[in-house]
Structure 1
């Protein structure tokens, strides 16, 4: 049974493995910057396929230093944002949330068409095609509903999409979102490769 609801989405304080097959897999079906995404199937009911995003939110003893621990407040923000934006035809609806031990699990519809980057790599994309390609937004891991934010505090995401003010640790607003959107458009037109893409960028300190 669900403990409570957030904007109509049930929050469960139970082990999702009791309700879904596939979440126990050693390796995620897909990897994201903050956690793994698993292709799962309901154990009962309609037995539909779903995608479950798994976040580690509590650091464990003797944990691999390479393991990413997602700040709990960012997961809570993602949950709130997804529920607040629904229903929207281009935003995935959150089916439910499971909070269990050291992890938080987000249950969403399964979209098995691959990533936008892979689609652009496999297909030549023109501006006229974009409206038919962008079917849904699913990753809200570092989104903010505030009109402004302090980038020195909320520094997150992929560096390739950072606006200059983010790199400088300044207060940011919607202009930083427009910059990131522009990078996505250029990435689509460039076969899935973002401008100035460099494999070593993530290893450098952009702030100094």
Structure 2
């Protein structure tokens, strides 16, 4: 964590052994999580694009350094009130090497798991990209696909070649729909990489929307203050 610092990853500060417990001191993200934003506010397509861009920048950095995040989901995407968007949950990172370019252990949540992970196949960094696509559907529809069904249902559909789709695609731009299509390719070889997705028209349009990100965090802070 000390070696792999990036503006789109929650910053590691220090660590201590307290009794028999290992404590990590991390950067404080005062704006809440993307899950909070999804459940308590409405995100515009511009905001979705900006959040996706920041996450992909973090994942591109990890993947270049041969690291798989393994647990990309809305609860692990955090905001600061200055507009920063960062990936959290370092506990499940998988470090790859030239001798080991694929991971086989399963250490993630079923609703976000890529087909190759569900079926127990060795997987690479593009497993994170499937999770980005699921987060995209979360931002659009407010929940993970099939979330209200039995826990086995999403895994079964994914394992048998099912690809989650928007319930009302015509309500959203062709660019957003195509972005999700590129993320949610069942065939890992056809799934876009983080670097490729950063050039996708949907994400590229977010280059001029950085001013939107502090607004998401500020809305969440106001909601928390009102609840208190």
- TM-score normalised to structure 2 length: 0.47
**SS of the residue aligned with 2:3?**
helix
Considering only aligned residues, what root-mean-square deviation do their CA atoms show, in Å? 2.7
Task: Determine if the alignment matches structure 1 residue 114 to structure 2 residue 64.
Answer: no
- TM-score normalised to structure 1 length: 0.51
- Specify every segment of 5 or more residues in structure 1 that has no aligned partner in the other structure, as ranges: 1-81
Task: Determine if the alignment matches structure 1 residue 129 to structure 2 residue 43.
Answer: no
CA distance in 1: counterparts of 2:102 and 2:22, whole angstroms:
25
Question: Relative to total residues, which structure has the larger strand share, 1 or 2?
Answer: 1
Q: Output one character per residue of 1:121-172: Cα deviation in whole Å (capped at 9) or x when no partner.
A: 1111123113555511221221223173333xx2111111111111111110
Question: Relative to total residues, which structure has the larger helix share, 1 or 2?
Answer: 2
- Specify every segment of 5 or more residues in structure 2 that has no aligned partner in the other structure, as ranges: 55-84, 160-228
* Larger RCO (CA within 8 A; separation ≥ 6): 2
CA distance in 2: counterparts of 1:106 and 1:200, whole angstroms:
35
Does the 8 Å CA contact 2:16/2:23 hold for their aligned counterparts? yes
CA distance in 2: counterparts of 1:138 and 1:90, whole angstroms:
9
**Structure with bigger gyration radius:** 1
CA distance in 1: counterparts of 2:148 and 2:135, whole angstroms:
16
CA distance in 2: counterparts of 1:142 and 1:196, whole angstroms:
24
Give the match for residue 156 of structure 1.
Answer: 107
1:40-119 map, 5 Å: 82-86=1-5, 88-119=6-37
Report deviation, 1:185.
1.3
Does the 8 Å CA contact 1:150/1:169 hold for their aligned counterparts? no
Q: Output one character per residue of 1:20-50: Cα deviation in whole Å (capped at 9) or x when no partner.
A: xxxxxxxxxxxxxxxxxxxxxxxxxxxxxxx
Report deviation, 1:205.
8.8
Give the match for residue 171 of structure 1.
Answer: 122
